[in-house]
Chain A
Amino acid sequence: MRGTTHALGAVGAVAVALAATGCGGGGSSGVGGGPGVLSSSWGDPQNPLEPSNTNEVQGGKVLDMVFRGLKRYDPKTAQAKDMLAQSIETKDSQNFTIKVKGGWTFSNGEKVTARSFVDAWNYGASLKNNQKNAYFFRYIDGYDKVHPDSGSQSAEILSGLKVVDDRTFTVKLNQKFSSFPDTLGYAAFDPLPRTFFTDHSAWLSKPVGNGPYTIESYTKGSQMVLKKWDGYPGSDKAQNSGVTLKVYTDPNTAYTDLMSGNLDLTDDVPAAQLKNVKSDLGGRYINTPAGIIQTLAFPYYDPAWNKPGSEKVRTGLSMAIDRKQITDTIFRKTRTAATDWTSPVLGTAGGFKEGLCGSACDYNPSQAKKLIQEGGGLPGGQVKITYNADTGSHREWVDAVCNSINNALGNDKACVGNPVGTFADFRNQIGQHKMSGPFRAGWQMDYPLIQNFLQPLYYTNASSNDGKWSNKDFDKLVDRANAETDTAKAIPLFQQAEGVVRDNMAAIPLWYQNGTAGYSERLSHVALNPFSVPVYDEIKVG
Chain B
Amino acid sequence: MGRYVVRRLLQMIPVFIGATLLIFLMVNVMGDPIAGLCGERACDPATAAQLEKEFGLDKPVWQQYLTYMGNVFTGDFGTAFNGQPVTELMATAFPVTIRLTVVAILFEIVIGITLGVVTGLRRGRPVDTGVLLTTLVVISVPTFVTGLLLQLLLGVQWGWIKPSVSPDAAFGELIVPGLVLASVSLAYVTRLTRTSIAENRRSDYVRTAIAKGLPRGRVITRHLLRNSLIPVVTFIGADIGALMGGAIVTERIFNIHGVGYQLYQGIVRQNTQTVVGFVTVLVLVFLVANLLVDLLYAVLDPRIRYA
- A residues adjacent to B (C-beta < 8 A): 1-4, 6-8, 10-11, 14, 18-19, 21-22, 24-28, 30-31, 44-48, 55-56, 127-128, 130-132, 134-135, 147-150, 204, 219-223, 246-250, 253-254, 256-257, 259-260, 262-263, 390-391, 421-428, 430-431, 442, 444, 463-464, 466
Contact = CB atoms under 8 A, between A and B. Distances in A.
B305 interface: yes
Contacts of B295: 6-7, 10-11
Contacts of A150: 45-46, 49
Nearest to B169: A25
A473 B45 CA distance: 27
B232 to A, nearest CB: 15
A-B interface, 7 closest residue pairs, ranked by CB to CB distance from nearest: A25-B95, A425-B31, A424-B36, A424-B31, A222-B167, A3-B1, A427-B35
B305 A46 contact: no
A148 B252 CA distance: 42
B163 A257 contact: yes
Nearest to B293: A11
B145 to A, nearest CB: 13
Given A14-B292, A148-B46, A422-B36, A30 B166 contact: yes
B9 interface: no
Contacts of A3: 1, 298, 305-306
B129 interface: no
Contact of B30 (A130, A220, A422): A422
Interface stretch (B17-25, B80-88, B119-127, B210-218): B80-88
A187 B49 CA distance: 24
Contacts of A463: 41-42, 44
A21 B94 contact: yes
A6 B257 contact: no
B82 A21 contact: no
Given A11-B299, A134-B44, A424-B31, 17 more contacts: A3-B1, A3-B298, A7-B295, A18-B102, A47-B82, A48-B83, A147-B46, A148-B46, A221-B262, A223-B167, A248-B164, A257-B255, A391-B268, A421-B30, A422-B36, A423-B270, A427-B32
Nearest to B99: A22
Given A132-B47, A464-B41, A253 B1 contact: no
Given A31-B166, A249-B265, A130 B50 contact: yes
A27 to B, nearest CB: 7
Given A25-B95, A46-B81, A135-B44, A422 B270 contact: yes
Given A3-B305, A249-B265, A132 B36 contact: no
A256 B299 contact: no
What DSSP secondary structure best describes chain B's contact surface? helix
B69 interface: no
Interface residues of B, number: 72
Given A30-B168, A127-B47, A424 B30 contact: yes
Given A260-B163, A422-B36, A26 B170 contact: yes
Given A221-B89, A256-B151, A256-B164, A2 B1 contact: yes
A424 B33 contact: yes
Contact of B46 (A149, A253, A422, A428): A149
A14 B82 CA distance: 33
Contacts of B102: 18-19, 22
A423 B99 CA distance: 33
Nearest to A429: B31
Given A6-B1, A22-B95, A48-B83, A423 B44 contact: no
Given A22-B98, A221-B257, A47 B50 contact: no
28 contacts: A3-B305, A3-B306, A11-B292, A19-B102, A25-B98, A27-B168, A47-B82, A55-B39, A56-B40, A132-B47, A147-B44, A219-B92, A219-B167, A221-B84, A247-B167, A247-B255, A249-B252, A249-B261, A253-B163, A259-B156, A424-B35, A424-B270, A428-B35, A444-B40, A463-B44, A464-B41, A464-B42, A466-B42
B95 A21 contact: yes
Contacts of A48: 82-83
